[in-house]
């Protein structure tokens, strides 16, 4: 069975043959290196909500306090035992506490399926559509979860400014709009996750953006 890393390596080789910019980024930055995934699918989504619009250190501290409150059992049934105020006590905003409770409720009652068996039967688009019915999970969060945590190979988070800026810097064009990046990304199918990763790296290299956990560099 092909591993996630082998699939990304194959995608990189194919895109490098098609596109000299990808070939150059590969030469400069090396192969795709995704962060190690240790969370369950559910916990990864809770972490993603917690980290939204926060610096990494602050988000990490809040998530650590949340995990401690849950006795390191980041599970829907455990979260549903707590009130919004109790969740806010670890540093979550009211909106994030509400989002995490909504996710927990929808997973608990089966409205949203996050177990590996169910997700394996869904396309990338179906996963994103299913997740975005949860309060506080937008397309960006769902895309990054699908690409990074699930390791899907053909996801392009067009709502990510870093991806768009990196594309503009690497291909020497104005920063594309989400719609323009979607169109530009068509020629990179079925390996658009590889494109996205190298766009993030390009933004780090050329745009001065700090190394990101999403590229495994931060």
Q: Write the pLDDT tens digit of every residue in 111-149.
A: 999 999 999 999 999 999 999 999 999 999 999 999 999
Q: Both 116 and 163 in a single domain?
A: no
Q: Both 141 and 100 in a single domain?
A: yes
Q: What is the CATH number of the domain that holds 116?
A: 1.10.340.30
Tell me phi and psi for residue 205, to 5 degrees. -75, -45
Nearest to 114 by CA among 124, 132, 127: 127
Those residues with Cβ within 8 angstroms of residue 174's Cβ, 6 or more apart along the chain or in another chain: 168
Q: Both 187 and 167 in a single domain?
A: yes
Q: Identify the domain containing residue 111 by its residue range.
A: 41-149
Q: Both 85 and 130 in a single domain?
A: yes
The whole-number average pLDDT for the span 182-186 is 98
pTM: 0.89
Those residues with Cβ within 8 angstroms of residue 86's Cβ, 6 or more apart along the chain or in another chain: 69
């Amino acid at each position: 069975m092909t591993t996630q890393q082998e699939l990304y390596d194959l995608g990189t080789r194919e895109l490098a043959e098609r596109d000299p910019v990808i070939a150059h980024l590969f030469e400069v930055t090396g192969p795709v290196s995704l962060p190690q995934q240790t969370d369950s699918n559910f916990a990864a989504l809770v972490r993603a909500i917690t980290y939204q619009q926060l610096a990494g250190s602050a988000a990490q501290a809040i998530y650590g306090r949340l995990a401690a409150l849950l006795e390191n059992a980041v599970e829907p049934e455990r979260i549903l035992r707590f009130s919004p105020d109790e969740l806010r006590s670890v540093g979550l905003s009211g909106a994030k506490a509400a989002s995490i409770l909504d996710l927990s409720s929808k997973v608990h009652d089966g409205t949203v399926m996050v177990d590996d068996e169910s997700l394996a039967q869904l396309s990338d688009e179906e996963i994103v559509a299913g997740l975005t019915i949860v309060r506080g999970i937008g397309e960006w969060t769902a895309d990054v979860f699908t690409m990074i945590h699930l390791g899907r190979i053909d996801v392009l988070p067009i709502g990510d400014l870093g991806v768009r800026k990196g594309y503009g810097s690497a291909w020497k064009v104005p920063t594309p709009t989400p719609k323009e990046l979607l169109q530009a990304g068509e020629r990179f199918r079925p390996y658009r996750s590889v494109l996205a990763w190298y766009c993030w790296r390009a933004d780090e290299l050329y745009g001065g953006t700090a190394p990101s956990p999403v590229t495994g560099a931060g």
